């Protein structure tokens, strides 16, 4: 297997994983908010570390518009996110503990 084939495989796997996680979130978050929304009472700021596109946090922000919802993820992830208006995005790395806000 050549390097190009391996790179294509990684890109395809990464895309499929992102799609799976996004779709899973679309199913789970409404149930969580309907059945367990009280867990967010008293929280003013919520940070989703490694939050990807922000789909999960967006659901929380829509249900609780007074909360400050932030996604913290790698710059290459943030740049490809849809940029939901309900979510603040911060790019950085948990490994190097750096960020740009």
Residue 7 lies in a domain: no
Per-residue pLDDT, 100: 64
pLDDT tens for 17-74 read 667 666 677 788 888 888 877 888 899 999 999 888 888 899 999 999 999 999 999 9
pLDDT tier, 81 (very low <50, low <70, confident <90, very high otherwise): confident
Report how far residue 30's alpha carbon sits from residue 22's, in angstroms, rounded to the nearest whole number: 13
* Residue 30: Cβ within 10 Å count: 12
* Residue 99 confidence (pLDDT) above 70: no
Residue 21 lies in a domain: yes
Per-residue pLDDT, 72: 94
Q: Which domain holds residue 55?
A: 13-91
Residue 8 lies in a domain: no
Residue 78 lies in a domain: yes
Instruction: Report the CATH number that the domain containing residue 73 is assigned in CATH.
Output: 3.40.50.150
Residue 97 lies in a domain: no
In the chain, the number of structural domains is: 1
Q: What is the DSSP letter of 49?
A: E
Per-residue pLDDT, 45: 96
Q: Are 9 and 38 in contact (CB under 8 A)?
A: no
Residue 65 lies in a domain: yes
Residue 82 lies in a domain: yes
Per-residue pLDDT, 80: 84
Ranges of H-type helices in the chain: 3-36, 55-63, 75-78
């Amino acid at each position: 297997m050549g390097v190009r084939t391996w790179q294509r495989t990684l890109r395809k796997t990464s895309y499929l994983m992102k799609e799976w996680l996004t779709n899973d979130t679309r199913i789970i978050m409404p149930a969580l908010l309907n059945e367990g929304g009280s867990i967010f009472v008293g929280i003013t700021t919520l940070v989703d570390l490694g939050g990807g596109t922000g789909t999960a946090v967006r659901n929380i922000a829509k249900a609780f518009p007074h909360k400050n919802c932030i996604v913290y993820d790698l710059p290459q992830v943030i740049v490809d996110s849809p940029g939901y208006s309900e979510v603040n995005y911060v790019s950085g790395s948990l490994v190097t503990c750096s960020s740009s806000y």
